[in-house]
């Protein structure tokens, strides 16, 4: 019990630890950096949440980025047309279209989620670009500053907060949350218990749409401009949040609060990045560190079981040696 | 019933052929034969060679139920290294340099995947990030130019030679050697392979090495074609290759249904499709839209759900 | 069995159509060569009739105004001469440019405009265009490598280029900032490998050493306005005594505005300024905000490709700018905007997508069939005289 | 009591998997407040019957009556709603979830109060449920992965009990439990009995059967044999009824001489593994060594260890010349072959063709250099599939389309082709019809004649006795008895060592 507590504290203290490290080694990296770090880790967190609906169910999804952009574009256009209501409505619409699309495709094409998501990325990117060109000026959508201020820092913190709360509510306070976990754990057994697994997955995808909506809101408001990316450009947006989620999925084993873990994960990543910037390093080092970090975390988590087995064996052998 | 299943399976096997024929003939008509003018065929070849070779390598991984996300940046890094070598030593030194670089990266991938038991996808994703940074460091940020004579090396005969060699070699390696058979076996049932005393890890590493070497070669090809290495070299390779493989009906789960022809057909389909659409003056976005829809439809039709318990 | 049959069928289809293709392939070359002859014929008698043509321009349909201006000017040209000018997408990687050239030739164009990311692709391009008999020109770039330069300019199908002294641009901005007494600046630029920005940075570096400016941070390759915001925020956070953020260049639209917004939101509007090469879309607003203080650029980014386009058209019509058909090279001088008023004036004119560099008459002057005594020098003169404001 | 309408009545239930008849016209009934023991040898149809009652699978024919009402549930959920609940032998829990969520998985809505899932309430309830079954030592909020196997089982029990069943089916669960765990389970069963509910209890442990059950029904080869009341429980009678399956026609070895050859080709030196405790034996040339025991006595793991698939904690496995067998590769160098108990998952690639499967072990034989040519392969196949007369269209047929017997033949052909000298056969006749069984026994004898050695691990005592030169019986991972081949060796004798 006590051990658990310490680990929990350790996890929560991690960002501060990283922060202090950079505080000392990188000049110009100080308290004033904190808001930046927070505001920069907002969009990735939202994307992370979107993926965290799906990945625990044992599925893979590359499309949140594309869906988010679609939401941002539609939102921006409608925002320009009919103001704040349009912004929210549009973003929601766009994001949900994506969610529904992938959910339906996955359910009725019956092909691996990863493949579906690849196709969806292709389509969604092109779609958002088309929409931008049809209803707006080119693939770029701008919204006036007064609209943009709606979900801008520090307001976007509230957005993420609500998103996290929703996520927490769904995962820990509804039947769906439990079932999503169970699905990822053992789909067969769940089926045999008479749970409609397809339905669970379907809902999971839909749910991820909601978080794409939050992401979309912040994306468009963050800089007042959003540009439709094509050529799988949105996939690169997804990778870093995905890493955050992967890491979080390991952390929850210690401290069972997915949204918090995702948030912490993102904060850490962003802190490191800003630290590097403050030290005048360019982003190539960042990527390398990121990759190594991912490998280490996954490597450890994947091998704990084997390590335990080996340790047990060694124990047994030692004991018998003592006896002999 | 059994008859129905049979016919169904047959359909699945011929679908890639049909797809290719349909697309080729369709665009041949739409472009009034322009698609087959020598120039266009050459452009198809020049763009297609990346996808084709890449897919051939990827098929071995797919057959084992593995993947490699890092091939794109692997290609980039190899290209950069080759460029540096070509500038410092000799242009011919670039060839082994590129291939070796890719090969080494392949080895690392293979070892990480087999020893740490990390999901291939995630492991190679990590590698991808590392290479992404690495290429910038090697290029020292800016674009590198190779000696002019470089572009002279990359003649059409060479390209055709490469393509033929890889198709034949790939076919032989995949369908007619122990390696190919074991690769499929691993995809079909790893446990059975293990209980037959075959060292699956070894074969996996080999597959990754092949993939890496091919990526390296592609890096060199890109260098020889453009005479320059940039940080954006090969970025899109991964997705094109994956699309091609899946379009060709190569199952991600691997196993005996993996067919070499799938890779070739898929690559051809993609190349003809994209160049056909360019000739028709479709905008990039529409092209992507069409590709996406065809992608989903094709896989929806020809995906083999027979021996999949749960579809993740 | 069935599979074998299909395999055979596929190969058969390929072979047949290939042979068919060979037949069709030779034809465009003939027409183009034949075309040049009758084109020159038409100059002799002064009934002006234009040969049909298609020219591919590698500019995507982004929301940027300057590209829309390009489009509207192209329309004007299309009307004046009976041709088609198409925006064909091309990513500006070496491979991208080459496949752009190849596929467009395959699609049967008579002319091409390219902006090469590096010189080393040019020999291949030259070769390709010579084989296909396609005229091509370089926009926004000049060839730095002498060896390649001579090789390219030897080609009869290379019509020349139009470029700016990018290094000078970089230097000018650096100089100005130095004179303002800026000491610490952060740089936002395109991903390394973009020749324009690289040369600009060379100039900047020169100025920096000269005026003792230190570059405290740099961020590259933005694809999304939010990237710019993030970068700016980080700069501001990391450097409390930052003087300016300098935009060497940017591919994504809305980035400049994003930076301005970020500076405002951070409340550093008074001590941190923005200097840009290239005129942002919302330049007026940026200047009014008091954050953008200096911009140095072409009158309009796409005026340059426009001129290259003119050259290609003329060559296609068999009337190259230089009588002997040798490539012509024109430079464009940039100019600076450093106050709200000029910014506003400029904006009102070039902010409108329908803005025309030259009206019908002006266009006629650029076409040798109408205006026989056009040549490299006069063209240069016209360029220099041209001023939006 | 007998006057009353029985709680559950099973009438003329039949079920067959392919050719194997798991249940043939089985009828029995269950009174209120009765603990019915269901016994019989491995594969006698106990689990099948119960799983049909809990409707994890459907019967081919036959009726069931719950309190006189016809009872035909479609799936386990319906069964549970009808108050029929089953605790399975194998794992039935979600490791990543908390104990509480495991108890209430699929029933979460119970705790959703105006839209909010009340975890605290759930944990409380779960804790109650655990306390009810006196498993209070398990914390309901703990993650299941932090529990040991026994506690996980108890969590399942709690889940079953919470649904407050009228009929609880306990299928060989106790074998996984320690004394303490068993007591908990017995407690529950007695409690239910008091409340007039009924239990069907499957176990191999006769002592515990006699301890808890009031009635015992015996099945043998899927046929109902007899039902005894507590009064006339006698281990000997029970055993007699359990075993003594009459053999259609004697297809076992006729000869009675045991192997004379003393050359040791394979050796285990006091192996310790998770279920195996200090097992050592020697295998001689041309000998069939039979391993008998209950399903969970550790003999299957022993097979794994012998082939180097699982590394033993202690001790070592050696080939005749003393080379230690660390991994399958070494084992194969020593010409050892292994066919696993669950053939379809571990030994064969069911999605591949017969050809691929047979060749897999011997590619280095077939291949010319690195290359493999069709004709060589076919030649190889013909050479080794002929004498096994596998029923198939052609060698390209998929394994999954074959019958169990033919699958087993393919598995054997694979190793024959490889030319193994030592065969480790784990349940070689599992789910195989008489005819093919005969062939396989024939084959084993031939191999024996050729001086190859066989380790036969089997749950069917009759075949162990019928085939082996020596029999080793394992009980709870220890060797409980070793016997030479001789006339008077009967199942009855061996059973005593097993249970």
The residues with which D229 forms a beta bridge, in sequence order, are D215
Nearest-Cα distance to chain B for A309, in Å, is: 15
Take residue D346 and report the two structure tokens written for it: 């571990």
Residue of C93, C104, C123, C132 to mutate, interface with B, max B Cβ within 10 Å = C93
Omega prior to A154 cis, within 30 of 0: yes
pLDDT at position C33 is 38
**Phi-psi region for residue D62, left (φ > 0), alpha (ψ -120 to 50) or beta?**
left
- Digit-coded pLDDT (tens) for A3-50: 667 777 877 788 888 888 888 887 777 787 888 888 888 889 999 999
Take residue A233 and report the two structure tokens written for it: 């450009």
- A283 close to C (CB below 8 A): yes
Homologous superfamily of D8-242 = P-loop containing nucleotide triphosphate hydrolases (3.40.50.300)
Omega prior to B251 cis, within 30 of 0: no
- Chain A residue closest in CA terms to C265: A153
pLDDT over 50 at A309, yes or no: yes
- How many domains does chain B fold into? 1
Helix (H) / strand (E) element for C377: namely helix C376-385
- Given an 8 Å threshold on Cβ–Cβ distance, is B296 in contact with A109? yes
Helix (H) / strand (E) element for B114: namely helix B94-116
- Digit-coded pLDDT (tens) for C245-273: 999 988 777 888 889 988 988 888 888 99
* Subunit partners of chain B (3 or more CB pairs within 8 A): A, C, D
Domain D264-498 classification at class level: alpha beta
Helix (H) / strand (E) element for D125: namely helix D119-132
Take residue B107 and report the two structure tokens written for it: 């080895």
The residues with which A141 forms a beta bridge, in sequence order, are A226
Nearest-Cα distance to chain A for C215, in Å, is: 9
Calpha distance D287→D305 (Å, rounded): 20
Residue of B20, B153, B226 to mutate, interface with C, max C Cβ within 10 Å = B226
Candidate from D75, D92, D314 with C-beta closest to A320: D314
Calpha distance A50→A29 (Å, rounded): 31
Answer for the pair D474, D279: CB distance below 8 angstroms, yes or no.
yes
Calpha distance D135→A155 (Å, rounded): 50
pLDDT over 90 at B56, yes or no: yes
Candidate from A169, A175, A194 with C-beta closest to D76: A194
Calpha distance D222→A47 (Å, rounded): 57
In which residue ranges of chain C is CATH 3.40.50.2300 found? 42-164+303-332+359-385, 167-297
pLDDT over 90 at A85, yes or no: yes
The residues with which A88 forms a beta bridge, in sequence order, are none
> Measured in Å, how far apart are chain B's first and last C-alpha atoms?
27
Chains D and C touch (3+ CB pairs under 8 A): no
- Given an 8 Å threshold on Cβ–Cβ distance, is A105 in contact with B296? yes
Nearest-Cα distance to chain A for B274, in Å, is: 13
Q: Using an 8 Å CB-CB cutoff, list chain B residues near C11.
A: none
pLDDT at position C37 is 39
Domain map (residue ranges) of chain A: 39-245
Answer for the pair C102, B39: CB distance below 8 angstroms, yes or no.
yes
Residue of D313, D316, D326 to mutate, interface with A, max A Cβ within 10 Å = D313
- Chain C residue closest in CA terms to B17: C6
Percentage with pLDDT > 70 across chain D = 95
Interface of C with A in 166-225 (CB under 8 A): 216-220, 223-225
Answer for the pair D182, D153: CB distance below 8 angstroms, yes or no.
no
pLDDT at position D322 is 84
Interface of B with A in 107-126 (CB under 8 A): 112, 116-119, 121-123, 125-126
Q: Give the model's confidence band at A51: pLDDT under 50 very low, under 70 low, under 90 confident, else very high.
A: very high
- Given an 8 Å threshold on Cβ–Cβ distance, is B178 in contact with D367? yes
Closest among C257, C229, C258, C248 to C190, alpha carbons compared? C248
- Given an 8 Å threshold on Cβ–Cβ distance, is B227 in contact with C118? yes
Take residue D234 and report the two structure tokens written for it: 């006698």
pLDDT over 60 at B4, yes or no: no
Residues on chain D bordering chain A, Cβ-to-Cβ distance under 8 angstroms: 56, 75-77, 92, 94-97, 101, 105-106, 108-109, 112, 115-117, 119, 143, 145, 272, 311, 313-314
Q: Give the model's confidence band at B70: pLDDT under 50 very low, under 70 low, under 90 confident, else very high.
A: very high
Percentage with pLDDT > 70 across chain C = 86
- Digit-coded pLDDT (tens) for A268-305: 888 888 888 777 776 677 788 888 888 888 888 888 88
Chains B and C touch (3+ CB pairs under 8 A): yes
Domain C42-164+303-332+359-385 classification at class level: alpha beta
- D411 close to B (CB below 8 A): no
Nearest-Cα distance to chain B for D112, in Å, is: 29
pLDDT over 80 at D307, yes or no: yes
pLDDT over 50 at B111, yes or no: yes
Which residues in B216-232 are b (16+ Cβ under 10 Å) and which e?
bbbbbbbbbbbbbbbbb
User: Could you tell me which residues come within 8 angstroms of residue C208 by beta carbon, excluding any fewer than 6 positions away?
Assistant: C174, C178, C214, C215
- Chain A residue closest in CA terms to D273: A313
- B140 close to A (CB below 8 A): no
Take residue B237 and report the two structure tokens written for it: 């390779």
- Digit-coded pLDDT (tens) for C61-105: 666 777 888 888 898 888 888 888 988 877 778 888 898 998 889
DSSP type of residue A196? -
Closest among B37, B106, B114, B108 to B279, alpha carbons compared? B37
Cα–Cα distance list, D138 to B267, D150, D189, D192 (Å): 57, 11, 20, 22
Calpha distance B42→B32 (Å, rounded): 17
Q: Using an 8 Å CB-CB cutoff, list chain B residues near D364.
A: 178
- Chain D residue closest in CA terms to B175: D372
Residue of D308, D311, D360 to mutate, interface with B, max B Cβ within 10 Å = D360
- When the pLDDT of each residue in chain C is averaged and rounded to a whole number, the result is 81
Candidate from B43, B146, B227 with C-beta closest to C106: B43
Nearest-Cα distance to chain B for C46, in Å, is: 35
Helix (H) / strand (E) element for C87: namely strand C83-87
What does the longest C-alpha to C-alpha distance in chain C come to?
81
Candidate from A140, A233, A280 with C-beta closest to C254: A140
Answer for the pair D459, D446: CB distance below 8 angstroms, yes or no.
no
Q: Give the model's confidence band at B79: pLDDT under 50 very low, under 70 low, under 90 confident, else very high.
A: very high
pLDDT over 70 at A324, yes or no: no
Calpha distance A180→A39 (Å, rounded): 30
B184: containing domain: 48-238
Q: Give the model's confidence band at C15: pLDDT under 50 very low, under 70 low, under 90 confident, else very high.
A: very low
pTM, rounded to two decimals: 0.87
- Given an 8 Å threshold on Cβ–Cβ distance, is A33 in contact with C220? no
Calpha distance A46→C66 (Å, rounded): 35
pLDDT at position A290 is 80
* Subunit partners of chain D (3 or more CB pairs within 8 A): A, B
User: Could you tell me which residues come within 8 angstroms of residue C35 by beta carbon, excluding any fewer than 6 positions away?
Assistant: C51, C316, C318
- Chain A residue closest in CA terms to B109: A295
Answer for the pair A48, A241: CB distance below 8 angstroms, yes or no.
yes
pLDDT at position C7 is 52
Environment class of B141 (CB within 10 Å of its CB; exposed 0-12, middle 13-18, buried 19+): middle
Calpha distance D451→D467 (Å, rounded): 15
Q: Using an 8 Å CB-CB cutoff, list chain B residues near D373.
A: 176
Candidate from B118, B130, B303 with C-beta closest to A302: B118
Of the ranges B177-181, C114-118, D400-404, the best mean pLDDT one: B177-181
Calpha distance C317→D271 (Å, rounded): 92
Residue of A54, A58, A119 to mutate, interface with B, max B Cβ within 10 Å = A119
The residues with which C329 forms a beta bridge, in sequence order, are C161
- In this structure, how many other beta carbons lie within 10 angstroms of the beta carbon of residue C140? 22
Helix (H) / strand (E) element for B277: namely helix B260-279
pLDDT over 90 at D166, yes or no: no
Domain C167-297 classification at class level: alpha beta
- When the pLDDT of each residue in chain D is averaged and rounded to a whole number, the result is 83
pLDDT over 50 at B7, yes or no: no
> Measured in Å, how far apart are chain A's first and last C-alpha atoms?
37
Structure-token match 């804790």, residue found: D127
- Given an 8 Å threshold on Cβ–Cβ distance, is B197 in contact with D367? no
What is the number of CB-based contacts under 8 A between chain B and chain C? Answer: 161
Query: What integer is the mean pLDDT of B103-108?
Result: 96
For strands D470-475 and D478-484, give the pairing.
antiparallel
Q: Give the model's confidence band at C31: pLDDT under 50 very low, under 70 low, under 90 confident, else very high.
A: very low
Calpha distance D221→D228 (Å, rounded): 18
B211 belongs to a structural domain: yes
Candidate from D329, D345, D349 with C-beta closest to B197: D329
pLDDT at position C318 is 87
DSSP type of residue C216? E
pLDDT at position C12 is 53
Q: Using an 8 Å CB-CB cutoff, list chain A residues near B136.
A: 282-284
Closest among C292, C297, C225 to C63, alpha carbons compared? C225
- Digit-coded pLDDT (tens) for B193-248: 988 888 999 999 999 999 999 999 999 999 999 888 888 888 888 888 988 998 88
pLDDT over 50 at D369, yes or no: yes
- Digit-coded pLDDT (tens) for B118-133: 889 889 989 998 998 8
pLDDT at position A72 is 93
Nearest-Cα distance to chain A for B11, in Å, is: 17
DSSP type of residue C167? H
- Digit-coded pLDDT (tens) for D269-305: 888 887 788 889 999 988 899 998 877 778 888 888 8
pLDDT at position C62 is 64
Nearest-Cα distance to chain C for A231, in Å, is: 10
Query: Rounded to 10 degrees, what is the CA torsion of D218, D220, D223, D229?
Result: -10
Calpha distance D37→B123 (Å, rounded): 52
Query: What integer is the mean pLDDT of D345-350?
Result: 86
What's the distance, CA B108 to chain centroid? 19
Candidate from A40, A140, A148 with C-beta closest to C63: A140
């Amino acid at each position: 019990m006590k051990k658990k507590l310490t680990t929990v504290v350790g996890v929560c203290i991690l960002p501060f630890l990283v922060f202090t490290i950079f505080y000392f080694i990188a000049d110009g990296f100080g308290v004033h950096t904190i808001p930046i770090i927070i505001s920069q880790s907002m969009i990735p967190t939202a994307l992370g949440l979107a993926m965290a609906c799906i990945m625990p169910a044992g599925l893979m999804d590359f499309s949140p980025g594309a869906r988010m952009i679609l939401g941002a574009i539609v939102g921006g256009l409608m925002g320009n047309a009919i103001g704040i209501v349009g912004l929210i409505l549009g973003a929601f619409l766009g994001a949900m279209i994506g969610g529904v699309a992938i959910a339906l495709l996955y359910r009725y094409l019956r092909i691996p989620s990863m493949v579906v998501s690849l196709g969806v990325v292709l389509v969604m990117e092109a779609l958002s670009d088309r929409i931008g060109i049809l209803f707006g000026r080119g693939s770029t959508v701008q919204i006036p500053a007064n609209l943009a201020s709606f979900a801008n820092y520090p307001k976007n913190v509230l957005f993420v907060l609500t998103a996290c709360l929703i996520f927490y509510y769904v995962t820990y306070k509804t039947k769906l949350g439990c079932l999503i976990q169970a699905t990822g754990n053992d789909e067969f057994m769940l089926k045999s218990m008479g749970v409609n697994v397809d339905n669970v997955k379907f809902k999971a995808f839909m749910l991820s749409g909601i978080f794409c909506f939050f992401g979309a809101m912040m994306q468009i408001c963050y800089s007042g401009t959003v540009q439709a990316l094509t050529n799988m450009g949105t996939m690169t947006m997804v990778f870093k949040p995905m890493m955050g989620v992967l890491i979080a999925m390991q952390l929850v084993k210690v401290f069972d609060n997915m949204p918090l873990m995702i948030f912490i994960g993102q904060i850490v990543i962003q802190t490191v990045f800003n630290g590097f910037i403050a030290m005048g390093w360019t982003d190539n080092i960042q990527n390398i560190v990121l990759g190594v970090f991912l490998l280490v975390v996954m490597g450890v988590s994947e091998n704990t079981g084997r390590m335990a087995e080996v340790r047990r064996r060694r124990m047994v052998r030692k004991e018998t040696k003592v006896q002999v | 019933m059994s008859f129905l299943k049979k016919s169904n399976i047959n359909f699945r096997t011929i679908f890639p052929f049909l797809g290719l024929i349909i697309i080729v003939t369709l665009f041949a008509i739409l472009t009034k034969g322009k698609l087959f003018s020598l120039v266009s065929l050459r452009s198809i070849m020049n763009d297609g060679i990346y996808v084709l070779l890449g897919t051939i390598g990827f098929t071995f991984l797919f057959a084992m139920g593995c993947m490699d996300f890092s091939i794109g940046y692997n290609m980039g890094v190899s290209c950069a290294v080759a460029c540096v070598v070509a500038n410092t030593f000799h242009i011919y030194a670039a060839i082994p340099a590129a291939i070796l670089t890719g090969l080494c990266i392949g080895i690392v991938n293979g070892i990480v995947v087999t020893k740490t038991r990390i999901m291939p996808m995630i492991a190679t994703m990590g590698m991808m990030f590392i290479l992404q940074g690495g290429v910038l460091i090697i290029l020292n940020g800016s674009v590198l130019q190779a000696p002019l004579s470089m572009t002279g090396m990359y003649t059409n005969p060479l390209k055709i030679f490469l393509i033929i060699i890889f198709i034949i070699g790939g076919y032989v390696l995949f369908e007619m050697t122990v390696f190919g058979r074991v690769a499929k076996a691993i995809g079909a049932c790893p446990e059975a392979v293990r209980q037959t005393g075959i060292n699956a890890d070894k074969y996996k590493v080999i597959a990754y090495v092949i993939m890496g070497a091919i990526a390296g070669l592609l890096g060199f090809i890109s260098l020889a074609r453009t005479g320059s290495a940039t940080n954006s070299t090969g970025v899109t390779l991964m997705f094109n290759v994956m699309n091609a493989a899946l379009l060709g009906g190569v199952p991600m789960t691997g196993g005996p249904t993996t067919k070499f022809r799938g890779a070739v057909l898929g690559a051809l389909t993609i190349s003809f499709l994209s160049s056909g659409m360019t000739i028709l003056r479709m905008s990039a976005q529409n092209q992507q839209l069409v590709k996406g829809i065809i992608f989903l439809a094709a896989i929806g039709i020809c995906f083999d759900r027979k021996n999949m318990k749960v579809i993740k | 069995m069935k599979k074998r049959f299909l395999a055979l069928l596929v190969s058969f289809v390929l072979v047949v159509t290939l042979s068919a293709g060979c037949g069709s392939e030779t034809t465009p070359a003939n027409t183009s060569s034949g075309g040049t002859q009758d084109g020159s014929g038409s100059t002799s008698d002064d009934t002006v009739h234009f040969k049909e043509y298609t020219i591919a321009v590698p500019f995507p349909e982004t929301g940027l105004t300057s590209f829309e201006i390009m489009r509207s000017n192209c329309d004007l040209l299309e009307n004046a001469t009976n041709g088609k000018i198409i925006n064909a997408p091309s990513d500006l990687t070496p491979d991208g440019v080459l496949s752009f050239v190849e596929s467009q030739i395959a699609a049967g164009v008579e002319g091409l405009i390219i902006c090469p990311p590096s010189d080393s692709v040019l020999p291949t391009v030259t070769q390709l265009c010579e084989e296909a008999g396609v005229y091509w020109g370089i926009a926004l770039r000049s060839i730095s490598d002498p060896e390649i330069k001579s090789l390219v300019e030897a080609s009869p199908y290379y019509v020349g280029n139009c470029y700016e002294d990018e290094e000078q641009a970089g230097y000018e901005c650096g100089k100005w900032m130095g004179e303002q007494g800026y000491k610490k600046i952060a740089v936002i630029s395109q991903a390394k490998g973009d020749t324009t920005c690289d040369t600009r940075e060379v100039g900047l570096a020169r100025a920096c050493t000269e005026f003792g400016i230190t570059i405290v941070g740099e961020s590259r390759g933005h694809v999304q306005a939010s990237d710019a915001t993030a970068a700016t925020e980080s700069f501001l956070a990391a450097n409390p005594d930052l003087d300016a953020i300098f935009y060497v260049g940017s591919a994504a639209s809305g980035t400049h505005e994003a930076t301005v917004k970020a500076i405002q939101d951070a409340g550093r509007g008074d001590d941190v300024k923005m200097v840009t090469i290239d005129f942002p879309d919302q330049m007026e607003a940026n200047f009014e905000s008091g954050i953008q203080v200096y911009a140095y650029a072409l009158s309009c980014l796409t005026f340059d490709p426009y001129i290259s386009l003119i050259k290609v058209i003329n060559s296609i019509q068999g009337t190259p700018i230089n009588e002997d058909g040798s490539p012509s090279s024109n430079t464009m001088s940039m100019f600076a905007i450093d106050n709200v008023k000029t910014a506003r004036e400029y904006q009102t004119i070039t902010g409108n997508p329908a803005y025309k560099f030259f009206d019908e008459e002006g266009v006629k002057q650029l076409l040798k069939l109408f205006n026989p005594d056009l040549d490299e020098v006069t063209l240069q003169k016209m360029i220099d005289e041209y001023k939006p404001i | 009591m007998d006057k009353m309408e029985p709680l559950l009545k099973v009438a003329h239930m039949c079920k067959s998997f392919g050719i194997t008849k798991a249940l043939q016209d089985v009828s029995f009934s269950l009174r209120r407040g009765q603990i019915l023991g269901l016994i019989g040898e491995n594969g006698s149809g106990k689990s099948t019957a119960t799983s049909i009652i809990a409707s994890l699978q459907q019967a081919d024919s036959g009726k069931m009556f719950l309190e006189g009402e016809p009872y035909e549930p479609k799936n386990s959920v319906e069964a549970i709603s009808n108050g029929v609940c089953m605790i399975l032998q194998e794992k039935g829990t979600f490791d990543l979830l908390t104990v509480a969520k495991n108890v209430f998985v699929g029933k979460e809505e119970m705790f959703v109060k105006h839209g909010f899932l009340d975890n605290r309430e759930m944990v409380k309830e779960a804790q109650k449920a655990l306390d009810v079954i006196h498993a209070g030592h398990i914390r309901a909020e703990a993650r299941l992965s932090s529990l040991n196997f026994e506690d996980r089982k108890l969590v399942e029990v709690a889940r079953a009990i919470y649904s407050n069943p009228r009929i609880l089916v306990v299928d060989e669960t106790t074998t996984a439990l320690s004394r303490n765990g068993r007591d908990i389970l017995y407690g529950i069963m007695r409690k239910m009995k008091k409340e007039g509910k009924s239990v069907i209890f499957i176990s191999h442990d006769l002592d515990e059967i006699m301890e808890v059950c009031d009635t015992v029904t015996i099945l043998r080869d899927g046929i109902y044999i007899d039902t005894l009341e507590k009064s006339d429980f006698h281990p000997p009678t029970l055993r007699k009824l359990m075993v003594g399956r009459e053999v259609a026609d004697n297809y076992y070895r006729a000869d009675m001489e045991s192997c004379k050859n003393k050359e040791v080709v394979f050796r285990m030196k006091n192996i310790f593994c998770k279920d195996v405790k200090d097992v050592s034996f020697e295998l001689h040339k041309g000998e069939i060594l039979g391993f008998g025991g209950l399903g969970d006595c550790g003999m299957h793991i022993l097979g794994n260890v012998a082939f180097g698939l699982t590394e033993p904690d202690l001790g070592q496995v050696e080939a005749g010349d003393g080379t230690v067998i660390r991994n399958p590769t070494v084992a194969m160098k020593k010409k050892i072959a292994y066919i696993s108990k669950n053939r379809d998952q571990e030994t064969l690639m069911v999605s591949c063709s017969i050809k691929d499967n047979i060749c897999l072990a011997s590619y280095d034989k077939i291949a010319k250099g690195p290359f493999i040519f069709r004709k060589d392969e076919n030649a190889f196949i013909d050479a080794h599939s002929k004498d096994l007369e596998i029923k198939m269209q052609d060698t390209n047929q998929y394994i999954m389309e074959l019958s169990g017997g033919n699958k087993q033949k393919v598995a054997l052909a694979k190793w024959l082709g490889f030319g193994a000298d030592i065969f480790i056969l784990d349940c070689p006749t599992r789910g195989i019809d008489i005819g093919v069984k005969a062939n396989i026994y024939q084959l084993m004898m031939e191999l024996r004649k050729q001086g190859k050695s066989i380790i036969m691990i089997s749950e069917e005592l009759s075949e162990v006795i019928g085939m082996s030169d020596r029999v080793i019986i394992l009980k709870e991972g220890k060797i409980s008895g070793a016997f030479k081949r001789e006339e008077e060796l009967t199942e009855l004798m061996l059973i005593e060592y097993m249970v």
